[in-house]
Amino acid sequence: MLFVYRIYFLQNSHEGYWKKLGDDLSLFQVKIEAERGNIYTHDGRILATTIPTFELRMDTRADGLTDTLWKKHIDSLSLMLSKYLPERSDSSWKNYLTEARAERVRHLLLAKKISFQDFKKIREISLFKLGKNKSGFITIQSNSRKMPFGELARRSIGYVSSNGKTQIGIEGLFNEDLAGENREVLMQKVAGGVYMPVNDNSEFGSKPGLDVYTTIDINLQDITEASLLKSVSNFNADHGSAILMNVKTGEIKAIANIGKSKDGSYHEILNYAINELNEPGSVMKLASVMALIDEGYCDENTQIDLGNGEQKYFDLTLKDDHKIQGTVTLAKAFEASSNVGISKPVYKYFHENKSRYYDLLEKFHLTKPYGLGIKGESPPELKPYKDWTGVTLPWLSIGYEIRMTPTNSRFICSRSQ
């Protein structure tokens, strides 16, 4: 009976103490992040990379750290630590380590946020080379993402939030490839809420992520961003985007996006080039000419009667802004960006077969995202041809009744090559 009472007394009278002790000795599987792959420009320069940093600790009462080993190495250890971690002198390091050993400190902090280069030097200290069991040397690695070129192409490079829910840009689209394979390591929660690895540091090994090579030219990116900033500032614009494309290959060499902040300054806020939808306007005339030529209805010399520069479709009249009238070739109508000159042949040959015009837009990849390789692309908005009104076709042929991103608009140019 006395034994049962003693158990009850210990459990209840010291409940807080035993709970804290249990928490301090708890073991957890902690995910150790793999080294994330790099993102490169077209010529191999780094756009984004992972920089590892290390927290260094020491178990001054490690099982294999005998008094003999301690006495043999304490002086050289203190001297070398003062060399690589000069915030303490060698004598100060010796006092710090000796006091910790006397107090049986198991997870003594040596340094935080040590670079990989300094970490390699410190782990070569004679005592630490003996391994964790004999030296008590403990390392905890963490990674941070850096962009060597600063703000250049920042929105296109993108990011992945710490919880993985927000995935933007190249980082987001290729997240699984870049991330590699993390590993779970058995960690012990010690006093102060600090987690320490239970086993040898070799458990930190994980499979690094793959690298991603882009078509971006960083020199052209710099020029594009500077030019765009100058333009939006001169016109006091709300925002703007600029895309530099090799139209023969479709490769994007630079993307710049600049918007105005509340304080009136300009920054790269959103990637307007891939997610802002607008009517493309006259850029669409090129797709219409391509459709007419592909179907064999017209060639560049086909004669188009512009009349007086106006054309009525049902109850609406389409007008030319440019003072061009009479009969001209299709090539001339396109050169003059004539609304009448493009809409008339499109309406003539496709108004009874709207589905074919729609199919050709699909063939030109104008009904789907460009597929740039950046997370967050918005697909074009175009009503199914069955829902078109009588004026949809002529207005669509010159870039209205459809909305697409600036990148999709540039894609029309690349399709013409």
Kindly state the percentage of the chain with pLDDT values over 90.
60
> Average pLDDT, stretch 117-122?
93
> Average pLDDT, stretch 84-103?
95
pLDDT at 43 > cutoff 90 = yes
* pLDDT for 247: 80
Q: Identify the three-state secondary structure at position 192.
A: coil
Query: b/e string for 208-234 if b means 16 or more Cβ within 10 A?
Result: bbebbebbbbbeebeebbeebbeebee
Using CA atoms, how far apart are residues 107 and 191, in angstroms rounded to an integer? 9
* pLDDT for 86: 94
Beta bridge partner(s), residue 198: none
* pLDDT for 303: 97
pLDDT at 322 > cutoff 70 = yes
pLDDT at 129 > cutoff 60 = yes
Of 61-65, 77-81, 161-165, 272-276, where does the model show the most confidence?
Answer: 77-81
* pLDDT for 372: 76
User: Where exactly are the structural domains of the chain?
Assistant: 37-213, 218-270, 281-415
pLDDT at 162 > cutoff 60 = yes
Q: Identify the three-state secondary structure at position 342.
A: helix
pLDDT at 407 > cutoff 60 = yes
58-70: pLDDT as tens digits: 999 888 999 999 9
Beta bridge partner(s), residue 230: none
CATH 3.90.1310 fits 37-213, yes or no: yes
Q: Under a CB-based contact definition with an 8 Å cutoff, are residues 376 and 271 in contact?
A: yes
pLDDT at 202 > cutoff 50 = no
Number of residues written out for the chain? 417
In sequence order, the 6+-apart residues with CB closer than 8 A to the CB of 212 are 37, 38, 39, 40, 170, 174, 177, 178
Q: Under a CB-based contact definition with an 8 Å cutoff, are residues 146 and 159 in contact?
A: no
4-40: pLDDT as tens digits: 555 555 555 555 554 554 544 555 555 667 788 999 9
* pLDDT for 413: 56
207-262: pLDDT as tens digits: 889 999 999 999 999 999 999 999 999 999 999 999 998 888 888 899 999 999 99
* pLDDT for 408: 81
Banded model confidence at residue 386, pLDDT cuts 50, 70, 90: very high
Top-tier CATH class for 281-415: alpha beta
Give the Å distances, CA to CA, from 391 to 290, 347, 351, 367.
Answer: 20, 9, 10, 19
DSSP symbol at 184:
E
More confident residue, 187 or 174: 174
* pLDDT for 24: 47
Query: Kind and range of the H or E element at 21?
Result: helix 15-24
* pLDDT for 198: 61
pLDDT at 181 > cutoff 50 = yes
